[in-house]
Copies of this chain bind each other. A is one copy, B any other.
Amino acid sequence: MSTKRDQIIEQANKIFLAKGYSGASMRDIAAAVGMEASSLYNHVESKHDILQTVCFEIAQEYQAGLDEILDSDLSVKKKLKNIIQLHIFLAAKHKDKMVVFDLEWKHLENEQLVSFKSLRKAYEQKLLAFITYGIEQKKLNPVEPKYMLYTFLSGLKWVNYYFQQHKEKDIPTVSDSMITMYLKGFYNN
């Protein structure tokens, strides 16, 4: 059973998604939930409160997922596969929330913005260390590690949008394709 607060956050995300954080009004959100704007404040502290709840919930799940993979003693190849699958799994699980997490975090303010950025930075740093190690061990191709990090994360982002419209049954197909592309590239050498 989902609380009213959950429903509000869910509807808010759909509207943030369509109109952007600033373009979405509390009245829009209230209408989607079926109440007046002022009544939202019985369940939610502020508009920022909604955004912040989503951003940090997702960030935390990413962190936990990555840590579990990197702390294991699997091979570089298997870790890479698991990280790809983590991103796809979270995209399918959170749908709309992922896009808000991805695009609207910049509307966080003050300590929350600082805190969010540093979580993000930490995530990238861990992944960068993994990539750098992989290259040193000659398991990964020798390109500038930062570029590989960015291309990797960037290339995975479309799944956040994909699972808004597609069912979870696509997860294995998407996973397999992504793993093939990342491991072997696009070109048939």
Where chain A touches its partner, the secondary structure class is: helix
Interface centre among A103, A147, A174, A189 (most CB of B within 10 A): A147
What range describes how many residues of A lie at the interface? 35 or more
On chain B, the residues within 8 Å of A21 by CB distance are 20, 22-23
Number of copies: 2
| Bound form: Cα–Cα A151–B186 in Å | 10
Q: Which residue of B lies closest to A23 (CB)?
A: B22
Interface check A157, CB cutoff 8 A: yes
Interface check A110, CB cutoff 8 A: no
Distance in Å: Cβ of A88 to nearest Cβ of chain B? 11
- A29-57, CB < 8 A from B: none
On chain B, the residues within 8 Å of A80 by CB distance are 186-187
Interface check A180, CB cutoff 8 A: yes
Interface check A155, CB cutoff 8 A: yes
Distance in Å: Cβ of A39 to nearest Cβ of chain B? 24
On chain B, the residues within 8 Å of A157 by CB distance are 154, 157
On chain B, the residues within 8 Å of A23 by CB distance are 20-22, 107
Contact A151 to B141, CB < 8 A, known contacts A80-B187, A181-B185, A185-B184:
no
Interface check A77, CB cutoff 8 A: yes
Interface check A129, CB cutoff 8 A: no
Residues of chain A touching chain B, judged by Cβ–Cβ distance below 8 Å, are: 18-23, 77, 80, 103, 106-107, 138-144, 147-148, 150-158, 162, 173-174, 176-178, 180-189
